[in-house]
Chain A
Amino acid sequence: MINWFKFASPASFYPLAGKLWPWFAALATAFCAAGLWISFFVAPTDFQQGEGYRIIFIHVPASWMSMFIYCVMAFWAAIGITFNTRLSGMMSAALAPTGALFAFLSLWTGALWGKPMWGAWWVWDARLTSELILFFLYLGYIALTSAIDDPRRADKAGAIVALVGVVNVPIIYFSVKWWNTLHQGASVSLTKAPSMATTMLWGMLLMALAFWMYSIAMSLYRVRAIILEREHHAGWVAELPEMQR
């Protein structure tokens, strides 16, 4: 049985994260190479959308990850508030930029896909709008935590924002969805052709795995930097081999 609480201490998590992140980075590269190969060379051309559809191999996994990372952030926030552990706040802070990046990527690729398919860079579709709001929530979290100087206070305040946000995400999603149906918006739908070729699905899943591994690798890497920054006065940091140089 592993004693999980052992790794709740930054001093013991720092070396663990250091050992783990190269593995996740390697996995991300491998999955990304396989996923891109399938999506560009193996997956057939869509008979309706032509080659342009291939952007969904980036777009869909990015949207999934942006939502998933917000949930993970809220999870660490809840752990941090319940157990008052320092590392949880650092994990939340480390995840937020990656999540915001994926939300932005999803909006950006969505716009690039929308122009040739719908003839518009942006439509006020329920999913687009709620993704945009999710992006704003990430920005709010990052802005608040970076405006507070005391890191412990920043973590706790950020935790409340993340938790309030995660409660609101479904409410916002459904309100935007009903708003959209009331307005009878542009009559376009994001639903793809019902039978997606299996190779396409594989490409998308591989890319999702690649993004997932990338997020883990990046957040571990970033949490190491955060730990060093906050614990620079601690004895164990001074004894690290990378500090001897």
Chain B
Amino acid sequence: MNAFVAIVRRDLLLAARRKSEVLTALFFFMIVVSLFPLGIGPETAMLRRIAPGVLWVAALLAAMLSLNRLFATDHQDGTLEQMALSPTPLAVLVSGKVLAHWLTSGLPLVLLAPVLGLQFDLSARALGVLMISLLLGTPILSLIGAIGAALTLGVRGGGVLLSLLVLPLYIPALIFGAGAVEADVAGLGAGGHLSLLGALLALGVFFAPWAATAALRIALD
């Protein structure tokens, strides 16, 4: 547990020292979301309808941006090998890295989403549901993304490959995340979608670090 906390603190500290990387992903999220009204037109009725999907797709893409660095820098300077050799199970350390990744790339999106949602004329209630769905969903993106990042570690053209591998696996999170907001707007209640999102998160927390660890061991062979 100490090692877990230490890894989270270390990664957060590293992120704080290299603020630009975190901020780039955030600005990317904001720009992508702002492009849609420009491309589609400013009718508020239309914007309200597409808002959950647009915000969620932008969140998927922004999460992809920062995934490359999840293990790459540690792999380059040899830290990752020391982690694999340490007495603490690698899966624990990987979980710590994933949590730190979510805190630096997922959580800011959750906090920023209501502001962007306002541009799309979402009601306060819908904004709340959107935040909850992102809060439950973005950790899934970090968890599944960790598997892809571990698999493409040190592979030629890793970045593009990572998106090809990971984006199809993000589809359930996208469907339930954006669906929660839509269901709430339609008056159906978002409970079912949020529960399913929570179930995905529980599955991911349990299995993804394990799969990512197996992938890392292959990459370190």
User: Which candidate, B27-35, B68-76, B155-163, is the interface stretch facing chain A?
Assistant: B155-163
Q: Would you call B171 and A172 a contact (CB within 8 A)? A: yes
* Interface residue B214 (Cβ < 8 Å from any Cβ of A): yes
Tell me which of A149, A165, A176, A179 has the highest count of chain B C-beta atoms within 10 A of its own C-beta: A179
Indicate the member of B147, B157, B171, B221 with the most A CB atoms within 10 Å.
B171
Interface residues of A in 163-179 (CB under 8 A from B): 163-165, 167-168, 171-172, 175-176, 178-179
Interface: B200 (CB within 8 A):
yes
Question: For the complex, what is the distance from the CA of A57 to the CA of B221, rounded to whole Å?
Answer: 47
Instruction: Considering the complex, give the chain A residue whose CB is closest to the CB of B173.
Output: A175
Q: Are B155 and A179 in contact (CB under 8 A)?
A: no
Taking residues whose C-beta sits less than 8 angstroms from the other chain, chain B's interface range is: 20 to 34
Q: Contacts A144-B155, A164-B147 given; indicate if A133 touches B221 (C-beta within 8 A).
A: no
Question: CB-CB < 8 A to B151: which residues of A?
Answer: 144, 157, 160-161
Judge whether B168 and A182 touch: CB under 8 Å. no
Let me know if B165 is at the binding interface, CB within 8 A: yes
Name the A residues within 8 Å of B11 (CB-CB): none
Q: B76 CB to closest chain A CB, in angstroms?
A: 18
Residue of B nearest to A155 (CB): B218
How long is the Cα–Cα vector from A209 to B182 in the complex, in angstroms?
44
Minimum C-beta distance from A146 to chain B (A)? 10
Known interface pairs A153-B218, A157-B218; A147-B156 also in contact (CB < 8 Å): yes
Q: Which residues of chain B come closer than 8 Å to A81, judged between CB atoms?
A: 214
State whether A160 touches B147 (Cβ < 8 A).
yes
- Compute how far the CA of A52 lies from the CA of B171 in the bound complex, rounded to whole angstroms: 33
**A165 vs B164: C-alpha distance when bound (angstroms):** 12
Contact across chains for B168 and A175 when beta carbons are under 8 A apart: no
Please name all residues of chain B whose beta carbon is closer than 8 Å to the beta carbon of A140 when the two chains form the complex. Answer: 161, 164-165, 168
Chain A CB within 8 A of B175 CB: yes
Q: Is B66 interfacial (CB 8 A cutoff)?
A: no
CB of B179 within 8 A of chain A?
yes
Residues of chain B with a CB closer than 8 A to A143's CB: 161, 164-165
Q: How many residues of chain A get a CB closer than 8 Å to chain B's CBs?
A: 28
By the criterion CB–CB under 8 Å, are A153 and B221 in contact? yes
Measured CB to CB, the closest approach of chain B to A126, in angstroms, equals 11
Known: A144-B151, A156-B218, A182-B182. Contact between A164 and B175, CB under 8 A? Answer: no
- B172 contacts A by Cβ under 8 Å: yes
A164 and B169 form a contact (CB under 8 A): yes
Within residues 114 to 140 of chain A, which ones have a CB less than 8 A from any CB in chain B? 133, 136-137, 139-140
Cβ-defined contact, B175 with A148, below 8 A: no
Chain B residue contacts of A137, Cβ below 8 A: 168
B169 partner residues in chain A, CB cutoff 8 A? 164-165, 168, 172
How many angstroms between the C-alpha atoms of A168 and B188 in the bound complex?
27
* Most central of B155, B157, B183 by chain A CB within 10 Å: B155
With a cutoff of 8 Å between Cβ atoms, the chain B residues found around residue A147 in the complex are: 152, 155-158, 161
- The docked-state distance in angstroms from the alpha carbon of A157 to that of B147 is 10
Q: Which of A136, A148, A178 is within 8 Å of B168, CB to CB? A: A136
Decide yes or no whether B22 CB sits under 8 A from chain A.
no
Contact partner of A144 among B161, B188, B196, CB < 8 A?
B161
B residues sitting closer than 8 Å to A (CB atoms) are 147, 151-152, 155-158, 161, 164-165, 167-169, 171-172, 175-176, 179, 182-183, 188, 196, 200, 207, 211, 214-215, 218-219, 221
Interface residues of A (CB under 8 A from B): 81, 133, 136-137, 139-140, 143-144, 147-149, 153, 156-157, 160-161, 163-165, 167-168, 171-172, 175-176, 178-179, 182
Question: What are 17 A-B pairs at a CB distance below 8 A?
Answer: A140-B165, A140-B168, A144-B155, A147-B155, A147-B156, A149-B156, A153-B218, A153-B219, A160-B211, A161-B151, A167-B207, A168-B168, A168-B172, A172-B169, A172-B172, A179-B175, A182-B183
Which 10 pairs across A and B sit closest by C-beta, in order of nearness? A175-B172, A136-B168, A140-B165, A156-B218, A179-B175, A175-B175, A140-B164, A147-B155, A157-B151, A160-B215
